[in-house]
Amino acid sequence: MQDKLIELIAEALEIDKSEAENDLILDPEENWDSIALLSVIASIDEEFNIQLDGDKLAECRSIPEILKLLEENS
Amino acid sequence: MSVTFLDLSKDSSFFVLLGSRKHLSTFYNIKNFFNFFELVFSPFISKRLFQNRYFQTRSLILKELKNMNINPSDIKISMSHNKDDFVALISKKDTNMAIDFEQTNRKISYALDVKISQIQKPDSLSSLGFINMIETLVKITNKKWFYLIENIEIKKMLNFKDVYRVNFENETIYSRFYSYNGNQICISSYKSEVL
């Protein structure tokens, strides 16, 4: 799940997968904007059939935090 | 550091300031110390003043408003940021308008594009335009994204270029699109200022 999530986030943030693997910080002032959030919500729904709460996802600042949110919702 | 003035209104009921974020300095410098106190005594006071982007963009807008002899207490401001730039919509206090903008070349993920294509909307409204529009509607209605997309009806206004009429909870909202310098700007209003 972690590997696929990194792939989805890299696509949403328009960055290389290697950048996403490397302690990526999700910053609302830089990369974690509304389109990135919506993209991640849609991709997670399609890939894992999990519907995430947008407000909770917006609070996540790293991929491990999103993984934790996924585990709570799966 | 300059801000571009965009006069998009036909009746001067609003205007837009566009600035670049790329050249903004960091929060902690002596000049910002004085700007901070100006903002504290302005309508921009907020706990978000400690966030770099909020502080820098509001400082700049306050300065521009001063140059134009506009009292910030007399107006309403809606703001939007993208990766490099920001826009501020300045309107009369009794209006309910909002702005959102995105870089025209911003990519939408395949999964999001598919989701949006399943929503009933005019063909002329792209996925990016749809997101742009909903972001403005979230701001003026104070409703959440997913509530809005389930409860709005969007129609293209045939006699106006790039204008859409949105029916929501027995009210009409007008949304208009503008292109500027590689950005797509959407402004929505409960009144017809944007027509």
Domain-wise residue ranges, chain A: 2-73
Q: Which of A11, A30, A54 sits opposite B109 (nearest CB)?
A: A11
Calculate the alpha carbon distances from B138 to B66, B96, B130, B153, B179 in Å.
29, 12, 12, 15, 21
- Report pLDDT for B28: 61
Cα B58 from Cα B4, distance rounded (Å): 15
With CB atoms and an 8 Å threshold, state whether B112 touches A43: yes
Q: Which of B27, B104, B112, B148 to mutate to test the interface with A (most CBs of A within 10 A)?
A: B112
Q: What DSSP line would sit under B85-150, residue for residue?
A: EEEEEEEETT--EEEEEEETT----HHHHHHHHTS---TTS-HHHHHHHHHHHHHHH---HHHHHH
B29 or B97: which leads in pLDDT? B97
- Provide, as residue numbers in chain A, all residues whose Cβ is less than 8 Å from the Cβ of B135: 34
> Which residues of chain A, if any, have pLDDT below 50?
none
Calculate the alpha carbon distances from B82 to A34, A71, B104, B177 in Å.
10, 31, 11, 16
DSSP letter (8 states) at residue A48: H
- The residue written with tokens 């742009």 in the block is B132
- Report pLDDT for B2: 67
Q: The complex's ipTM?
A: 0.87
| CATH topology assigned to domain A2-73 | 1.10.1200
